[in-house]
Amino acid sequence: MTEKALRLGTRRSKLAMAQSGQVADAVSQVTGRPVELVEITTYGDVSREHLAQIGGTGVFVAALREALARGEVDFAVHSLKDLPTTQPDELVVAAIPVREDPRDVIIARDALKLTDLPRGARIGTGSPRRMAQLNAYARTHGLDFETVPIRGNVDTRIGYVTKGDLDAVVLAAAGLNRVGRSDEVTDFLSVDTILPAPGQGALAVETTADNADLIAALAQLDDPLTRAAVTAERSLLAALEAGCSAPVGALADILTDGQIVKEMRLRGVVGSTDGSTLVQLSTTGPVPETHEAATALGRELATEMLAQGAAGLMGERAL
Ligand SMILES: NCc1[nH]cc(CCC(=O)O)c1CC(=O)O
């Protein structure tokens, strides 16, 4: 007797298919049930408009959530950095698996590193967060390059470099790992240079709040330390009243003494896209053991950042 397959709603993009496929295998293993991928086309996949104008990457999430709410699929996998910070009551993030490499990377022509790029080099990124920090880095390190707004999936963005339109593009290491293209990276950017987006590198496995059995099964894939970290990062983003297209970076990491987990450090940054102003702060505290404690850490850092003028930098939107 075979049990009925669980239906996993996914976007059709290579990245979405890769991460859904990986989670499908893991879910199949813990439940003993087959998992079937159900492709969902989202408005964001068909629209040529700039995402910042149509409400950010939240559009990708919305269609998956509607399919969940209609009962067409049993669960869905999101890139956590694309999830809005408000959680609908009828849905639950049942698992946040161990985070992948959170760093941003560049893929540049001629295997160049960021600091090797010649004066006037053109670097493609549609992210105000990446623009702000790259431009700030250039200003403080005597470099000179131009950030060029681009959009598109991983293949399209890498294509700007291979076709010779741009000198480099910025991407997330995690996405490249998932689609098997991390060997094309020419420079892994230190998080001290570019703080990643809140939640970058992590996945969220979401299902409906009324599905207790599936919530319990999916919980086996949850990594509590990743959950605590991304909860703090997203709380910072929410408290700054910023969305996924705001120039905000955040990363929580665990400070260890040998093998022993000591504390959690949360770093946050907000900046003007030209890099002329950055507000960058960090805070350290006990590793949060509850959702409330993780949320409080993010909120406290946001309060300090707002006191240093963060709010004035948030109104900016990418072209
Ligand atoms: N904004 C698009 C997006 N959403 C998630 C990832 C992959 C990285 C991740 O899962 O955090 C990417 C691509 C990128 O930023 O290069």
Tens digits of residue pLDDT in 183-213: 999 999 999 999 999 999 999 999 999 999 9
List pLDDT tens digits, range 79-121.
999 999 999 999 999 999 999 999 999 999 999 999 999 999 9
* pLDDT (0 to 100) of residue 60: 78
> Which residues make Cβ contacts (< 8 Å) with residue 237, sequence separation at least 6?
85, 198, 243, 246, 248, 250, 298
Read off the pTM: 0.92
Residue 241's pLDDT is 83
CA gap 242, 233 in Å, rounded? 12
Measured in Å, residue 175 CA sits from the centre of ligand 1 at 6
* Between 292 and 44, residue with greater pLDDT: 292
Report residue 165 as tokens: 């339109």
From the CA of 199, give the closest atom in ligand 1. Answer: 11
Residue to mutate, 200, 203, 244, ligand 1, most ligand atoms under 8 Å from C-beta: 200
ipTM: 0.94
Rounded distance from Cα 4 to ligand 1 centre (Å): 32
Query: What CA–CA distances, in Å, run from 97 to 58, 78, 134, 220, 221?
Result: 21, 11, 29, 9, 5
Q: pLDDT confidence of 261, banded at 50, 70, 90?
A: confident
Tell me the pLDDT of the chain averaged across its residues: 91
**pLDDT given for residue 53 in this prediction:** 43
pLDDT mean over 290-305: 97
CA of 200 to the centre of ligand 1 (A): 7
Reduce the DSSP state of residue 198 to 3 states and report it. Answer: coil
User: If you average pLDDT over residues 164-173, what whole number do you get?
Assistant: 98
Atom of ligand 1 nearest to the CA of 127: 1
What's the gap in Å between 174 CA and the centre of ligand 1? Answer: 7
299 or 57: which leads in pLDDT: 299
pLDDT for res 130? 96
Q: What is the CB < 6 Å shell around ligand 1?
A: 57, 79, 81-82, 171-172, 174-175, 200-201
| Ligand 1: nearest atom to the Cα of 170 | 16
CA 260 to ligand 1 center in whole angstroms: 31
Atom 5 of ligand 1, nearest CA residue? 79
Q: Which residues pair with 234 in a beta bridge?
A: none
* Residue nearest atom 9 of ligand 1, based on CA coordinates: 201
Maximum Cα interatomic distance, the chain, rounded to a whole number of Å: 67
C-alpha distances in Å from residue 198, one per residue of 75, 233, 247, 302: 23, 5, 11, 13
Q: In this predicted structure, which of 21-25, 41-45, 69-73, 218-222 has the lowest mean pLDDT?
A: 41-45
pLDDT at 229 over 80: yes
Return the pLDDT at 311. Answer: 82
Q: pLDDT at position 57, please?
A: 59
Nearest atom in ligand 1 to the alpha carbon of residue 200 is 11
Position 246 pLDDT exceeds 80: no
Task: Provide the 10 A C-beta neighbour count for residue 50.
Answer: 15
Residue 318: its pLDDT value, please? 37
Checking if the pLDDT of 58 tops 80, the result is: no
**Structural tokens at position 206:** 């979401």
Of 25-34, 58-67, 86-95, the one with minimum mean pLDDT is 58-67
Other Cβ atoms less than 10 A from the Cβ of 179: the count is: 18
The pLDDT value recorded for residue 262 is 82
* Residue 132 confidence (pLDDT) above 80: yes
- Beta strand spans in the chain (E): 6-10, 35-39, 75-79, 91-95, 104-108, 121-124, 145-148, 168-172, 187-188, 203-208, 248-257, 260-271, 278-286
- Choosing from 25, 45, 74, 82, which is the catalytic residue? 82
What atom in ligand 1 is closest to the CA of residue 57? Answer: 1
In which order are the strands placed within the sheet that holds 145-148? 145-148, 121-124, 168-172, 104-108, 187-188
Does the structure show a pLDDT above 90 at 317? no
Q: Which residue has the higher pLDDT, 259 or 203?
A: 203
- Say if residues 273 and 247 touch (Cβ distance below 8 Å): yes
Pocket test for ligand 1, best of 13, 15, 156, 177 (most atoms within 8 A of CB): 15
Domains in the chain, CATH or no CATH each: 6-98+202-222 (3.40.190.10), 104-188 (3.40.190.10), 229-313 (3.30.160.40)
Question: Which residues make Cβ contacts (< 8 Å) with residue 126, sequence separation at least 6?
Answer: 50, 51, 52, 149, 150, 151, 318
Rg for the chain, CA atoms, rounded: 20
Query: How many whole angstroms from 157 Cα to the centroid of ligand 1?
Result: 12
Whether the predicted pLDDT of 8 surpasses 70: yes
Q: How far is the CA of 100 from the centre of ligand 1 (A)?
A: 11
Residue tagged 């570019």 (tokens):
194
% of the chain surpassing 70 pLDDT = 92
pLDDT at 251: 98
pLDDT score for 245:
67
pLDDT for position 54: 46
Let me know if 82 is a catalytic residue.
yes
Over range 133-145, report the average pLDDT.
95
